[in-house]
A and B are shown apart, each in its own frame.
Chain A
Amino acid sequence: MRSLSKRQTLLKLFVSNLYISAFTFGGGFVIVTFMKRKFVDQLQWLEENEMLDMTALAQSSPGAIAVNASILVGWRVAGFWGMVVGVLGTIIPPMVVLSIVSIIYNAFITNPYVAVTLKGMQAGVAAVILDVVFGLGANVVKQRNALLVLIMVLAFIATYFFNVNVIYIILAGALVGLLMEYAGKKKGAA
C-alpha cells in the first residue's frame, strides 16, 4: 500500500483475491489462512491481530466466510472500491469453475484423475493451514498470559472433539476477553 497508487492497490487486491480464491478448496478457514499469508506476511497490508479480528467477524456474520473476509480486507485496504473488487475477485473463480462443471458434471465427478489430483491437494491444504496455525499459536503463547492459552486450548477441545457450535465458542471467547479487561482495570493493571 505504501508506495502504490490507489489504482495499483485495487488491481493488486483484485488479483490477490482472484488468485487465492481460484486455488482454495474447502471451507472458509482455508481461505482465511491463505489471506493471512498474502495480506499479512507478504504484502504487509494488515497486522496479524487485525486478520484474526476480521476472521472472527467474518465467521460470525451471515454469508460465506470467504466473501465476508474479502469485504473486511477490501474496506480496510482501499475503502468502498476495495470491498467491490475484493468480492469480485473472490466470487469470479468459483462462478467460472462451476459454470464449466455444471455443463460437464457427469464426466467430472466420476473421473479418477480428477479425484486423485484433488486428494493430493488436500494433503497440501492441511499442511498450509497447520503451518499458519503454528505461527499464530506461537504468538498467543508468547504473550505469556495463561488465560489466553487456556482459551485457545478449551476452544480447540470444544470445536474439534465436541463439535460445539462455532458461534458459542466465539461468544465465549469474547465474554472472557471482556471480563479480563474489566478485572484488569479494577486492579489498575490495565
Chain B
Amino acid sequence: MIYLKLFLCFLQVGLFSVGGGYVAIPLIQNQVVVLNHWLTMSEFTDLVTIAEMTPGPIAINSATFVGIRIAGFPGALVATFGCILPSCIIVSILSYIYTRYKSMSALQGVLSGLRPAVVALIASAGLSILQLVVFAGRDIELGNVQWIGVGLFLSAFLLLRRLKWNPILVMSLCGAVSLALYAALGIS
C-alpha cells in the first residue's frame, strides 16, 4: 500500500537525519531515488534546488513534493507526518528532561559549555550564506564580488543593528530591491 510505504520511508528520514538539512539530503536520495524509484536523479536535484529556494526544512519540502507526485495531497500529508513523528516523540522526551533537570549543576555545566559552541555554529551558518551572497558561490577573489549583494547586506545589517527594524521586513525589502533593480535596469 502506497500510503504506508510513503509513511515508513519518511519515518526513516525523520529518524536518522541527525543534524538537520544537509544530513537529510543523502538519506532522502537513498529512500526516494535508489530504493523506491519515486524520482529520477535529475528530478531529485531539482527538488534540492527548490527546497533551497523555498521556506522550510528540506525534509518537509521533500516529503510534500514526493508525496504529492506519488499519491496526491493525502500522500503529502502521510509522508510529512511520518517525517515529523520521530521528532515529536524524541524531542518531547528531551524537553521533559531539560525542564526537569535544568537546575542540576552537572547539566548547568554541560549547558554553559554548549552555549558558546552554539553561538559559533550560528555564526558559521551566517557567514556561509554571506559568502554565497558576496561571491555568488564562486572563488573568493575581488573580480567575483557581487556589489549589489554587498550593498544589500550592509544596508540590511545597519537597519537591523542600529534601527532595530523587523527582520522579516528587512529581508523582504532586500528581495524587492533586488527584483526592482533587475526589472528596471536589468542588473543582477
Contacts and interface: CB of A to CB of B under 8 A. Distances in A.
A188 interface: no
A130 B116 contact: no
B125 interface: yes
A166 B121 contact: yes
Nearest to B13: A63
Contact of A153 (B58, B76, B108, B120): B120
Interface string A101-140: 1110100110011101111111111111111111011001
B133 A126 contact: yes
Chain B at the A interface: SS class: helix
Question: For chain B, which range describes its interface: under 10, 10 to 19, 20 to 34, or 35 or more residues?
Answer: 35 or more
Contact of A123 (B94, B111, B114, B149): B149
Interface in A35-85: 37, 49, 52-68, 71-72, 75-76, 83
A14 interface: no
A124 to B, nearest CB: 3
B59 interface: yes
Interface residues of A, number: 108
Contact of B130 (A56, A126, A152, A184): A126
Contact of A57 (B94, B126, B149, B179): B94
A156 B124 contact: yes
Contacts of B121: 29, 59, 155, 159, 166, 169-170
B128 A173 contact: no
Interface of B: 14-22, 24, 46, 49-50, 52-61, 64-65, 68-69, 73, 76, 80, 83-84, 86-88, 90-92, 94-96, 98-99, 102, 105-106, 108-130, 132-133, 148-149, 152-153, 156-157, 159-161, 167-168, 170-179, 181-183, 188
The 8 tightest CB contacts between A and B, nearest first, are A177-B113, A120-B178, A94-B56, A181-B109, A173-B117, A129-B126, A64-B57, A63-B87
